[in-house]
Amino acid sequence: MRASAQILGAPIARVEGRLKVTGSAPYPIDVAVSDQAYAVLVQSTVVRGRIRAIATDTAERAPGVVTIVTHANTPSFPLGPMTPLGPSPLPPLQNADVLHYGQHVAMVIAETLEQAQAAASLITITYDQAEPTLSLDEPSIAPESHPWLPDQIRGDAAEALASADVRLDETYMTAENTHNPIGLFAIVAEWRGDTLIVHDTTQWPHGVKETLAGAFGIEPANVRVQTPYVGGAFGAGLRVWPHVTLAALGAKLARRPVKLVLTRAQMFTSLGHRPMSVQRLRVGASRDGRLTAIEHEARSPLSIAGEFFNPVAAGTAEAYSCAHVTTRDRQIRLNVSLPSWMRAPGHAEGSFALESAIDETAYLLDLDPLELRRRNHAAVHPHSGHPWSSNALLECYTVGAERFGWHGRTPAPRSMRDGRLLVGYGMARAALSAYQAPCEALATVRRDGSASIRSGATDIGAGTYTVITQLAAELLGLPVTRVHVGLGDSDMPKAPQQGGSGLTAALGNAVHAACRDVIHAMLDLASKDERSPLHGCTVHTVEIRNGGIQRLRTPADNESFAEILDRNGLEELTREGASEPPSTATMAHAGPFGAQFVEVDVDPDLGTIRVERVVSVIDGGRILNEKLARSQIIGGIVGGIGMALLEETVSINGRPINTSLGDYVIPVNADVPDIDVSFVGGPDPMTEVGAKGIGELALTGVAAAIANAVFHATGKRIRTLPLSLDKVMD
């Protein structure tokens, strides 16, 4: 049985686009319920210490105040659940200890937002301060290896380095970055008896559901989390942060709904961040351009206030065909807010160091950086030896070089100019590990000829609503206008987070299974019915077309789903589908691959860098919607430009100081050049839909490609991000 329509891949516009551009899409920050009160957080102004006293008397007497929550009246919360992404953040307000600047130390609930803000300013806190630990080089703090990030060891890298014809040994650094979606994170919490209703800015409704159920000792069935539209998140919504639990607690204590919206400054200390990294790369190569050894050691901060793993060096183990590779990731506990995942976590930082080092090695060998990558392409998974499920990286290199005009470059640094400006070409490999979690979905076909798909997944802007609509429409033989997709509700079937670039494959496979089972159930009804023109048909003798089933050899023998349901007295037919991660016993599950080519102009007098153009060629498996896929790649490249040239969260003595969009600089239209995106490769056989997740891939490789282009333009190798003009002029 097959579907005859070809809807997947078509560059249709977002199905939810009209809601968004008209302001009708309900984001959590827009939710307002009857009789809601407003919560405001009070945060620590010290970096480390203990609360000696907290005076709330004056604030409690302020107009409109409903209640004030501190560690003194907060119940004991259990630790949050272990999740597929690791341990939950520590529960809030459990004691008087302060572990980082901006830690929540109180919450005020009042009738209006303004009254809550005014009362919060009246709270006086006295601290016993202690000396914080803030440096990765603190000798008294031992670096920790994370159990989820074991050292990767292949061969003997140390011995191979010692005997290498050419050796590179350099240190690279990436800055701390902060998620900065335009929409502030918000939550509305409401208790209805023993049932908790939550509207939360999250990438994982079911994760919030399970965490809050555990925190308040209620059944998960008594928690409903709704988030049909998220806005930007970039990883900030992958964890159940302490303010979520506090809002639910506030609603319980106030006996009325409570709305809490983080301020822009609080977004810098309450939702995680991409931690800075220090990475040492040692590369060995033979004179003929073969990599003989790679050692990649990475250090990054970990908060004293929780757990987090960041695979900075780990991806290097599967990057190139090299017999001797060692990677080590180490974390150092500091008095900083808890880091978290940010678009392409670990891979973005690690690819900057690795792809910069590969570029440097190419210059040591007097070899084209593209050719060095070709010669060391990993045709099979280098660590397991298994064949890739799919890998079109070499095609990415070939197509990218042609579209960019790579071979027109003159190799020597400072050899290309445009008037007084120095011109540089740089390129880098892009890659992301494959990830897919279990997922469930419901498919329903109705008597009126429409269909719906439901799953508790979210869409943070990746286009999930649209590609799942296209998938279901193709499988059911319906126009996209007759398919409705419902997401973002924990009362819907269980789904994983939208993160790790794995949701499209996981949800797509579940939807594929659900639609298949609906069709099989429809065919079963028809084939057993002597009145049906499909009587006696099997799955091998029919196809799906025009919202129904028809015989392959005699298309006139057909029946719509609506007719089948009507004759059987059914209003609708629903089936649930589920997906599981694919087996990697004999094949390496390939993530997406790509090649990034960049041209920069550098002003030799001012040190300013402008990215003039980017060519990005992507192996993303089966592209389900080329328009939306291209948008995802462009968005990731813009993020990579920010990481390379602009973004840096600056802290002084543990206190972030550029906590506004006026001070934390991100790319704007004038910083973004023409971006040429193309796709190569084909469906990946590890998933029913053949898709790979590309939402994060595009950010990888961009920073290195820009840094490599800056070196080609100037002859100056900058190994620390961002590539600010002072580093160019130094």
Which segments of 402-470 are extended strands (E)? 417-418, 421-431, 439-446, 451-454
The DSSP-derived string for 535-593 is TT--TTSEEEETTEEEESS-TTSEEEHHHHHHHTT-SEEEEEEEE-PPP-SSSB----E
Q: Helix, strand, or coil here: 567? A: helix
Active site residue 696: yes
Q: What does DSSP say about strands 186-192 and 258-261: parallel, antiparallel, or unpaired?
A: antiparallel
Contact 39, 246 (CB under 8 A): yes
Nearest to 405 by CA among 715, 707, 615: 615
The helix (run of H) or strand (run of E) holding residue 186 is strand 186-192
DSSP secondary structure code for residue 222 in this structure: G
Q: What does DSSP say about strands 152-154 and 166-174: parallel, antiparallel, or unpaired?
A: unpaired
Q: Report how far residue 280's alpha carbon sits from residue 330's, in angstroms, rounded to the nearest whole number.
A: 12
Instruction: Determine the residue type at 316.
Output: T
Cis before 722? omega within 30: yes
Q: Report how far residue 216's alpha carbon sits from residue 2's, in angstroms, rounded to the nearest whole number.
A: 48
Catalytic pick among 190, 349, 474, 696: 696
Helix runs in 164-310, H state only: 205-216, 242-254, 264-270
CA angle 436, 210, 510 (to 5 degrees): 30
HEC string of 149-160 equals: CCCEEECCHHHH
Q: Report how far residue 499's alpha carbon sits from residue 345's, in angstroms, rounded to the nearest whole number.
A: 10
Q: Helix, strand, or coil here: 338? A: coil
Q: What does DSSP say about strands 166-174 and 277-285: parallel, antiparallel, or unpaired?
A: antiparallel
Question: What's the token pair of residue 39?
Answer: 């919560």
Q: Helix, strand, or coil here: 318? A: helix
Question: What's the token pair of residue 305?
Answer: 């206030």
Q: Report how far residue 127's alpha carbon sits from residue 597's, in angstroms, rounded to the nearest whole number.
A: 52
State how far the alpha carbon of 193 is from the alpha carbons of 215, 218, 251, 601, 616, in Å. Answer: 16, 11, 12, 63, 54
Nearby residues of 21 by Cβ (< 8 Å), 6 or more positions away: none
Q: Report how far residue 460's alpha carbon sits from residue 501's, in angstroms, rounded to the nearest whole number.
A: 12
For residue 150, how many other CB atoms are within 10 A of its CB? 12
Active centre residues (catalytic): 696
